[in-house]
Structure 1
Amino acid sequence: MNSLFIALITKRIVATVSALLVIGIGCGAGIWQLGRADTKIALAANLLAKQQMPILSANAGSWTLEEASERRMIARGEYIPDAAIWLDNRPRPIPPVGSANVQSGFYLMMPLRLEGRNEVLWVNRGWAPRNNENRETLPPVQTPNRVVNIEGIVFAQPGRVYELGGGKADIDPAKPRIEQNFDLVAEGKLHGWQQSPFILREVDTGIDDGLFRDWAPLTTGVDRHYAYAFQWFALAFAGFLFWLLTGLRQYKRQGFMNGDQG
Structure 2
Amino acid sequence: MKPGNSLLQSLVAKRIVATVSALLVIALGCGAGFWQLSRANTKIALAANLLARQQMPILNANLGSWTLEEASERRMIARGQYLPEAAIWLDNRPKPISGSSNATQSGFYLMMPLRLENRDEVLWINRGWAPRNNENRETLPPIKTPVGIISVEGIVFAHPGKVYELGDGKTIDSLGKPKIEQNFNLAAEGSMRGWNQAPFILREEDTGVDDGLLRSWAPLTNGVDRHYAYAFQWFALAVCGFLFWLITGFRQYWRQGHVNRV
- Asked if residue 35 in structure 1 is aligned to residue 38 in structure 2, the reply is yes
TM-superposed CA distance for 1:95, in Å, is: 3.1
Letter in 2 for 1:210: G
**In structure 1, what is the equivalent of residue 150 of structure 2?**
148
Match of 2:48 among 38, 45, 49: 45
Gaps of 5+ in 1: none
**In structure 2, what is the equivalent of residue 101 of structure 1?**
103
- Asked if residue 11 in structure 1 is aligned to residue 18 in structure 2, the reply is no
**In structure 2, what is the equivalent of residue 202 of structure 1?**
204
- Asked if residue 89 in structure 1 is aligned to residue 92 in structure 2, the reply is yes
Q: Is the 8 A contact 1:136 1:176 kept in 2?
A: no
Q: Distance in 2 between matches of 1:78 and 1:169?
A: 24
1:193 and 1:175, CA in 2 relative to 1: closer, same or farther beyond 3 A? closer
TM-superposed CA distance for 1:134, in Å, is: 1.3
Letter in 1 for 2:125: V
Match of 1:248 among 247, 250, 259: 250
Q: Is the 8 A contact 1:107 1:124 kept in 2?
A: yes
TM-superposed CA distance for 1:170, in Å, is: 2.8
1:131 and 1:79, CA in 2 relative to 1: closer, same or farther beyond 3 A? same
**In structure 2, what is the equivalent of residue 237 of structure 1?**
239
Gaps of 5+ in 2: none
TM-superposed CA distance for 1:173, in Å, is: 5.0
Deviations 1:64-100 (A, max 9, x none): 00000000000000000000000011112x5323475
What pairs with 1:110-189 in structure 2 (closer than 5 Å)? Answer: 110-166=112-168, 168=170, 170-173=172-175, 175-189=177-191
- Asked if residue 26 in structure 1 is aligned to residue 29 in structure 2, the reply is yes
Match of 2:80 among 71, 77, 81: 77
Q: When the two structures are aligned, how many residues end up with a matched partner?
A: 259
Letter in 2 for 1:212: L
Q: Secondary structure at the match of 1:215?
A: coil
TM-score (norm 1): 0.96
Deviations 1:23-66 (A, max 9, x none): 01100110010000000000000000000000000001000000
TM-superposed CA distance for 1:132, in Å, is: 0.9
Q: Is the 8 A contact 1:59 1:117 kept in 2?
A: yes
Q: Percent identity?
A: 74
Q: Secondary structure at the match of 1:216?
A: coil
Alpha carbon RMSD of aligned pairs, Å? 1.3
After TM superposition, which residue ranges in structure 1, 4 or more long, deviate above 3 angstroms?
172-175
